[in-house]
Each structure stands twice: as structure tokens, then as C-alpha cells.
Structure 1
Amino acid sequence: MTEQLTVGGRKIPLDDAKAFARKYLSGEGIWAYPAYDAYPGHPGTDVGHADLLAVALLNAHQRPLDSYYGLESLIPLINERLSDPALQGSLAEANAATLDAIARLFGVLDEKRPKYVSLTKLSKVLHRKRPELIPLYDKNISRCYADEGLDPRDRSRSWHDYSRLLLAAMKRDLADQIDHWLEIADLATQVKITPLRAMDIVGWHLGR
């Protein structure tokens, strides 16, 4: 029986997932790796202005100037929440307090959501600051988890509440298949990536 990898409600044969990841991680200038993963950004664990440019390296470049200024306006609130001591370790091993802290971080969009700033762009900034812990998010990842009933278009949920449910589901998929995600992460030779980034690469492919 062919072994499968699961991201949300979607599945892919393990060999096919590895084959796509091998292409993505080839470093031939076709995909976002290694540009996004090697981008130096702002040093340290807090978000600085240089980090805001990373969103373009994962093709989230709609209205780049407006997006930059919008993200810039969120820096104080982001860094306040990034300082939460619960934001440590990996998503695979995260406890409830850590998942709550990530959801609170994503929840900055409930308090202030500048035009052209989405969870997609915010996550692309934040993942690089805690690459083992904070997942990437985009419409393709959204599609994978919408198959399980987590639809971001459900306006009855705040971004905090939506992301808290999403994080629990992503933790499950990461932890339950961690050996495979580690194996895929090891395919990255130019710049190391985390198992969480490996899951994003496969999920992005599945959601297309």
C-alpha cells in the first residue's frame, strides 16, 4: 500500500511529495527557495523593517508599498506579542499555552488590519522569526484545511479564533508525520529548513 502524507483534508503519496519537494528545493531560481529562506532580514528575534520585505520573496507582492507601510504600522504590537515566553520550541511539541500565544500573535489582525495586509503576509514575516514554531499560511494552505471545515470566509470567527483551530490541526499533521517532514527538510542543502517549512511546501503544492 502506498504511503500517504496528509495536510489538512488532502493527501499525496509520499514519493510524489518528495519528488515535488526535491524540485522546489533544487535552488535553480524557479521557486522561493532559497531566496526567502536565505534572506538575512533584521537580526535578532524581534521584527524589524528589513523583515517586511521577505513577503515578496514568497510572491505575496500585491500592492508592495501599501503592504510595507501597513506591516510597519503593526511592528510595535507584533513585537509586544512576540516577546511572550510561551513562544518557544516547535509546533510539533507546542502545548496549549504556546498555541494560544501564536493565535494571539495572528490576532493582531483583529485589532488593526491595515489595507492589503493579510494573514498570508503576516505569517511570511513571522515564520522567519520562529521557523520551527510559527507556520506559513496562504490560500493554498487554507484550501487544505477548508476541506476539514476550517474556512477563513466564516466571518463568525475572529482571526484569533480561526488561527487557534488551524494551529491545532497543523500541529497534528506535523507531529503525526514528523519523520517524513524531517526527511523532506533534509532535501534542502543550500539553506537548512525546518520540518514546518517542509510541510508548508507540500501543503502549498496540494492546495494549488
Structure 2
Amino acid sequence: MDMLTVGGLTVEPAQAEAWARDYLVESPGRSGYPAYDAYEGSGRDNHELGDADLLAPALLNVSQNPIPTYYALKSLVPGLNESFRGIRTGLALQDAEDSQLDAIARLFRVLDNPAPKHVGMTTLSKVLARKRPGLIPVYDSAVAHCYSDSDRAPVPWQAGRSWEAYARAWLKAVQNDLRGQLEAWQELAHIAPADDVAISPLRALDIVSWRAGLPAVSRRHGRRATETAEPE
């Protein structure tokens, strides 16, 4: 199998499998799986955001200032749900057309002009990804390293670019990586135990990109990389 690509980084297939197996099988009670992936939130049949969905980021270790973050997210819900109505349920990122990527990117418009306090790209993505698994990727500083900070990053930072525009470019880059080796991501997704919740190929890519970018983030912040604590 060819090397797997996540943004500007490449990963040996055997390493990607080891990371997925550690996260999905070998770290019970310590990783975000299955807690985050099985979280019901406001209900799987409720395709709009409800109050319970706003607690999902805590299951991926986004826990700073939880009370003001909850209220800040709650204030964004009406606008987010209006945007959600234009996004077909059940859509997978690998199948999304450019117009549908535009609609997903509009969800991140709430981060612009003015930027809300206590809510950034990391927290928002982890709310949205739980509501639309398979369509919206998880974002954090490790993922940002893969897609924006690494030497060959496909979405380098641009001064003055809105979060909506950044999200649109990032979504396309992730989609390219997902489509380019979809069978490999599907195989990694199947590592999830049959008696637990299934994950999408996109979530498998999320796990690998997080682990690929984590060492650089850990060095940047002067801490040792761990395999169980997602960075914010």
C-alpha cells in the first residue's frame, strides 16, 4: 500500500494502522472512542443542533472554560441550524460536491466578524463533526499542523482570510486526501470493534492526522506527546 497523505505529511500504512488500533481498541476509557463517537447528543434523528450537542467537545478533551463555552455555543445555535438546513443529511465528505462544501464552510462563518469569545475552530468543529459524522472533519492544533503548518501544507495560513474561507480550503484538502485513498481509510475504520459504534472513513483520517501532527504540536508547547490526550 502507498503512503497515506494527511495534508503536508505522509504516514506509513503500518503506522496508521497502529495508531488507529491504539485509539479504537487498545485505550479503553482513555481515548475519545467510543465516548465521542457514540455520544447521542440531542438525538441521532434530530438533524439540528440542540443543547446536549454542545457538550460533545468535552469528550475530545476540549474542556477549558466549559460554562462560558457552553453559553457561547448556545448563542450560535440559531445561525448554525439555519446553515445546517442547507446540508443534506447522510452525505459523506468524499461524495460532496463543491456547492456542498460551500454550504459546510458557511457553518464556520459564526467565527468571523466578530469572533465569539470562548469558541474557536477546534471547539466548533467538534460540535459539528459529532452532528454530521462522515461529512465534517475534526479540527485541532495537530490537524492544523498537517494542513497549514507543515512544510508541504496544502492550506498555508493567509493574513486576513476569514475562518469561513479557511474552512472551505481545508475541507477541500481533507476531501482530496479522503478520496485519494478511500479504500485505505475504509479499512482503518473497520478496526473499530463490531460491538461498539462504527466510525466513518473520515473519522479514521481524523485519528491518523491528529497522531501525525501531535509530535510537532507537543514540541511547540514543550510537552511530551501522548497517545490519548487530544490537543485543543
TM-score (norm 2): 0.85
User: Is 1:36 aligned to 2:45, yes or no?
Assistant: no
Paired residue secondary structure (1:6): strand
Matched-pair identity in % = 48
- Asked if 1 retains the 8 angstrom alpha-carbon contact of 2:7 and 2:177, the reply is yes
Deviation, 1:151, is: 3.8
CA distance in 2, matches of 1:155, 1:69: 29
Which residue in the other structure is 1:198 paired with?
204
- The 5-angstrom pairing of residues 11-30 of structure 1 reads 11-26=10-25, 28-30=28-30
CA distance in 1, matches of 2:7, 2:191: 23
- Asked if 2 retains the 8 angstrom alpha-carbon contact of 1:8 and 1:169, the reply is yes
Q: Give 5+ residue unaligned stretches, structure 2.
A: 215-232
- Asked if 1 retains the 8 angstrom alpha-carbon contact of 2:7 and 2:154, the reply is no
User: Is 1:58 aligned to 2:60, yes or no?
Assistant: yes
Which residue in the other structure is 1:176 paired with?
180
Which residue in the other structure is 1:157 paired with?
161
Q: Which amino acid aligns with 1:129?
A: K
- The 5-angstrom pairing of residues 95-174 of structure 1 reads 95-146=97-148, 147=150, 148=153, 150-152=155-157, 154-174=158-178
CA distance in 2, matches of 1:86, 1:185: 23
User: Is 1:207 aligned to 2:213, yes or no?
Assistant: yes
CA distance in 1, matches of 2:35, 2:86: 29
CA distance in 2, matches of 1:58, 1:18: 20
TM-score (norm 1): 0.94
- Asked if 2 retains the 8 angstrom alpha-carbon contact of 1:21 and 1:201, the reply is yes
Q: Give 5+ residue unaligned stretches, structure 1.
A: none
CA distance in 2, matches of 1:138, 1:206: 12
Deviation, 1:39, is: 1.3
**Count of aligned pairs:** 206
Which one of the candidate residues 83, 86, 99 is aligned to 1:84?
Answer: 86
Deviation, 1:149, is: 5.0
